[in-house]
Structure 1
Amino acid sequence: METPYVLIDMGILHNNINAMAAFAASNGIKLRPHIKAHKLPEIAWMQIKAGARGITVAKLSEAEVMFAAGIKDILVAYPLIGESKLERAAELLRRGCKLSLLVDSQLGAQQISDLAAPGGTGVLVKVDSGLGRCGLAPGPGLEEFVHWLCRLPHLNFRGLLTHAGHAYGCSSAAEVAQVGTKEGELMVEAAESLRRQGVNVAEVSIGSTPTVGWGGRVPGVT
């Protein structure tokens, strides 16, 4: 066999997929696995057939590959800024992709609104739960942004999303558990605060490989 090549242990792959599907089902949450590690439509389809509602991608090029392979429910997990990227997103929407986008700025939200996609574009607001890379901190600023966002045309606000990537720096399992639990509780609290103000928050999305077993058990995470 020529090198380099990728060798996949199918037994381990199936076990991992089935374990996450079972965890999601037992906790009443919807699973949307991130495909940035494998980038293979074949594996993405295995995850969907095991019960995943759709997939998460890191960038538009991954979304385009997955849509070409017949996968329609796709979330881009990083806020898009810029005309060229948004034109590509608009093309996916025109072709029937159920594409969801993240926003954490007025500029990004306004640009997505300007796409004027038929039926509107589904958006989730990125929340910073501790990683410090992007997203809005929970609190009045986040709430003001969501209220402003809901007034924009051609956007469908679906909910809140976070990624506790800082958990990769934890030094113990107990610390991971603490970060994961806090991730879930913080997001549920933010969603409930918005609901008390009359905002429909359908999705409360959390997740990282280390923390999902903890955050996914918090009541109110979807």
Structure 2
Amino acid sequence: MGMTADLILTNGTVCPAREADSIAINGDRILAVARSDEIGALAGEGTETIDLEGRPVLPGFIDAHVHLFDAGLREIGWRVDLSGLSRDETLAALREAVKSRGEGEWVIGEGWDESRWGEPRYLTRGDLDRAFPDSPLGAVRMDGHMIVLNRVGLRAASSLVPDHGSDLFDPGKGILREEAAWTLLERIEPDPSTLAEALSGAARLCHRLGVTSVHTMTKAWR
């Protein structure tokens, strides 16, 4: 006997536009997209049916601009997710990550946003030096176009990142922008097994959000 649906959505407008108006679902899997006069074959004794009354329904989303590995590295905790945190919470989250890493191991946080803080001021090298004097550490702003480094991280970056000029590399403030920032993140990428784990984590995140196809903006990784 074939699999039956837990849930049937019927009498809707299935996007992208097609003749089908119904979707049959079992658990976290779509069984079929079909016409309402066909979908009933997948109904069982316990199937819930919802009449959409013409409302639109999308079986899956396509995200046209995704940084897939970056999301995956946050998802598995290799990068510290700083999204929505205050300045003090940001430093506390980074401090916990430093404690869990080996001596001299890079810690990268991502997602801080000074516009959400009471004092809308960027993180600086001074902030990170005072909190983290001994470990290489960087904090990527929420837009992904800038990273702030502490003194130890800046010293390491000087040998990893080509000279892009003072507009992209400001050692005084510990700031790398655009290509300088992206080059550094590529040079300190984790090992292949961690990248594979990150890719799986990113896929799970996409599935939870209903994203079924992506166009990743990430450059080629190992």
Between Structure 1 and Structure 2, the one with more strand by share is 2
TM-score, structure 2 length as denominator?
Answer: 0.32
- Indicate the structure whose relative CO is greater, using CA pairs within 8 Å and at least 6 residues apart: 2
Indicate the structure (1 or 2) with the bigger Cα radius of gyration.
Answer: 2
Between Structure 1 and Structure 2, the one with more helix by share is 1
TM-score, structure 1 length as denominator?
Answer: 0.32
